[in-house]
Structure 1
């Protein structure tokens, strides 16, 4: 055993020295597909694509190994396969010339690499790929790097399926800017005619895979930026085998040309002697600054070459009646926008602006349902007609957004004060603004559109309800004013009229509307608010309350059911003698006001069972080791009969209303629960059973008194049992006993106390030796007969023996 332990220890130490420690390297490391021990980060994913579902012996497959993480763009890999050979490594990848089953990176400048794998010869079995990737930040340390590993098994194929192929992989549009959505396209071909299933699409941005777009054919413009390089790889699949990956050409996201958002000439209504100034604003999708790059001016539709790229037309070049417009481009210093054409402006001559003479809203008053309409008048010394006008509205002196000549009632509210302003233009100049006087909107009287009582007949006016439809243009809270005539509920058949009117917050009243209702008889009602649990100690007499809207006298009729069965009882109570615990009495009560029955009321009353009370009865004197009677006979039950009892004596359970128990100690705890005939149990009661040692005989003395043994003793028992040699001789109340033993020898006498007819085992014993002389008696009459009978029997015996020796003669 010790030799075996030493051998295992040597093997463990040898294994620990033989295990290589892998280290990553910027120029790659062959055979480290299990990862390295110098990087401890996380958060990267390494993947190997292009492997077939099962390989065809000797066929070459194009593989892509990539590593991705949420940050950085550098990384490395190590790839190992146990069968076949790697070849044709792509940029930044290399194959081990000593063992072509190993490949790694040659520098850490990218995170995706390509190489070919040629499957082994037929019968080689499953090819196992293991690989490791490391997404690094390039700071020269292992801090912040993220290694990960993976593996894949590719079984040898049966040769019955041919992998599909992809061609024509391209990204459009090409070229693409930052406002374009990238979309890829390709052609799928399968020589077996298999449908396309499970084809993998992988997008690469600046050499790193973009896993968010895996198997998507588009990339939205929100994920691209100017200067990024993009390409896409397609690995076709027919569901059984993957074809060779095919990669599109790389596309660089180009600059997006800016656009002119707006451009205008100011002033918008120029006159002779004023310069024309062009202003423009641009927008660039790449968030680059824009500026005006090209300007062309046109007068009466003809280009003015001398003003090309000028932002201002000097006043000397503009004459009255000329119509000018401009075209403008903006640039982001890489590309220019399309031409943008401004609105035309006309050069005007000398003119006097018109003058407003009046602005009016009418005389009013105006309510919340009225529109306000502006009217105005003006004067123009040049006699020019109005070519345009503008209207403004002010609410409580604050200018509003409305600009029409009519202000809709929907825009006004009670107590608002409105003003209207106006100015006019003669085509060359605008007049000054003029404002009307303020107009305050008045309260509108509420409208009662409809009113009706909801019932034709009621028992009482308090039960009447009504509905109405109203409208208040001012959205005031309306108060209902109502009046009944007659005011209080009259006898059955009385017709009452209800009139209502609406009042708003300003006290304005609507029109009045009325409707009538007739008083009808009200059926009485009956209610019960008592306790549904009753006892059987008295009569069952529930109390009911009644009500009648017409104040009629109400009488009640009763129908009783016991435990669901009809009975003959029809009075308001059930006698006590018919009640029993657990019974359920149901009373159906019908009220009547002399005209109509009201709705019946059904109440179920349960007769509750009072729990019994336990009481333990014991003898006045209790003796240790002497059986005594424990009784539950004095337990009580006020509404039933006690039928059983459960005794708990020092953890031992007994049942029965009476129990014979023999205490073995001076103190014993007795617990009792009793049960009545309805199954209810009492609370547990307990007593301490106190027992004392029983009396016994002491100082037992014996003497021979003639032919008898005389016994004497002392003790407190009222009765004694005397035994000779275990045989009961009799009982006595005295402290003496005489006995004549039948034979000589030693006899043992014992004296036992007898309590309540029970002989106790405790005793006093006394041995007595009796001789033949002590028990001899004088001969009696039977003595002579006995002697003769004895001699005769001896003779007969001897004769019988003698005859048995006489030979037979037969």
Structure 2
């Protein structure tokens, strides 16, 4: 009873003493999480939206390239996903290799946590599967190496199989166009092709029947030209659709009857082409009919001045007795082929010319033809008639720059207000004797010349006042009767009453030409590009004193890099200033730190480094004064930069595969502050702290240390360590001699010590081909000191069996005082089955010393509890989330 209470107490004690291991998200992927990741807290309002290109339908056995990603979510670039398919096979394909697939091929997840987009291949299942379900979960990580502040989302997609059974095509809306065809229109077959499977039309057969007979020469045509048609033909067509696999149902259209083609007219004219009032008129044309019908009773109408002359209907000729000068004649013909009338065709309209001789006219001008905008334009007109007829009418058209000015028609005088410089004018004139007009004659050629410009309101101006740091500019108002712009006017400058010829033509005088006390004046002779006007001068101005200026302020120090100042050396103020009047200058200097004036530093040009710290904002205000009290100011602000830390570490030993290695990063340095964080990265796994103890196995290991100082400065050091396979004892065997357990093994080096561990439950073993053994409870805590039962420097060891049960032993080697703690399969572990000799041993032990059985049982119970608990911890550390 006492023993049972003691055992219960110890179990509770051990359970309370075991630390609770916190789980973290697995950065190298996770399966069985398509319903979401409950171990990551969901930041409110930040869930991402999954993106994918999963197919809506699939062909059995076809491979599809799937793209997976997300939009939204917490800020950053890190993330993960888990995809599960109900059927088909997933594979990683070729790409960034940031995806891995489980052995069943039905799930994929990320292998690295640095991306938010991935690609994976999916091969569709066989035709026996009608649909496939895609379950996808994505997680956006904030990169804080914790499971808080992240966000995730899930989605489901279903894809259905494309049917492999063919459906025959169909034809609909079949028709012949036009519905009432003629030989002239031809016939076009129209129809809609449809295939349920989406197959393209291929091999469709079209058969035409003309008057009941199949016409082979028309097979598969959709358009029948006039050469195959005759008036009265009955046309029928059949369509037999084909999708390249099979024919569909036959569709028939028709019959339709080829109707009569209406006749037409070509080459329709009235003869003669230029008739006089003494000529007869006749009509001439060519009758056209597609059906070769002959003309019968076509209708002919004559029109005089747009009025139909009924008495002349159907006449092909009219006599000269009805033809008069200036009459306008035209005719229309409506052709008839005995069945139908065609369209109405018209001749061109002709005008009857007179046999009377027209009068003659000459056109001249008043003046020499060169004038300006102050003089009228006037014509001189002289008209005569060969027949002695009086001139009854005169028409005048005026042209400006070649364009007619219709509002001035029939005016012999044009007012000067209608003219502008540079224009050219002329007139066209014709006269009439009441019967016939003369030809148009040109005359009245005028050219409008330029007028010189004038100047008003000429002034000298500057940006503010007339001082030595301001340019001088001349402005003036220019007037031109012709509306011309100013071009190349002449500008003359006077200084203290004397003309400065080298400044002629300058509209602006640079301030480098001016000095305090000077008197300036300017004159302008205006130009419009053709003529100069009269010279006009401005009022005189006097140059006043100018303020001193600061052209540049710099704050420098010895350790500055790329314009950034640091706190290790004094700050030195550098100022460049100028006074255009040549005065001696004085300065006031005021310093501010983080927005507050530092009065003790007034008028100092150097700030000692003892006052400087990274992150401070220093500002300086510099005022400069000339001898007359004029001043100006300028300021500059700068931030004291932070010097990044320097990442360094030391090791406690020369690295040996399978042993504990201690990396000490406390030797890292920060010149202007202190290091506050250490981040280790070994083989893509991250840990924190200034020191890190790891076990490394076979292969190449990239060791990275990133340090961050109190100002956020960062530095990283990387080293590559190459190690061989860890050494373990070979051919480990166990035997029992009575109540003695005997262990034996092989080892080549004679100068080696060995440690023997014992457990009442199996040891956890490495199944990773002796590769990376990194910060894993299986390797750091599985060989607990409580299990250590012996040490030796030879290859054999024995002990009295402590209990009648299965006993598990592990043997490790100590090389250069460093223990290779790897437990690997049957190489350095062995089992002793002492259950068959338990009675003898127990009886003998109890007879010899009955009190020994209780302590032995308690020890073995402790060992079993510890082993089970360590296995639970190991499993908790390595379960993926």
TM-score, with structure 2 as normaliser: 0.38
User: Quick one: higher RCO (CA 8 Å, sep 6+), 1 or 2?
Assistant: 2
TM-score (norm 1): 0.41
Larger Rg: 1 or 2?
1
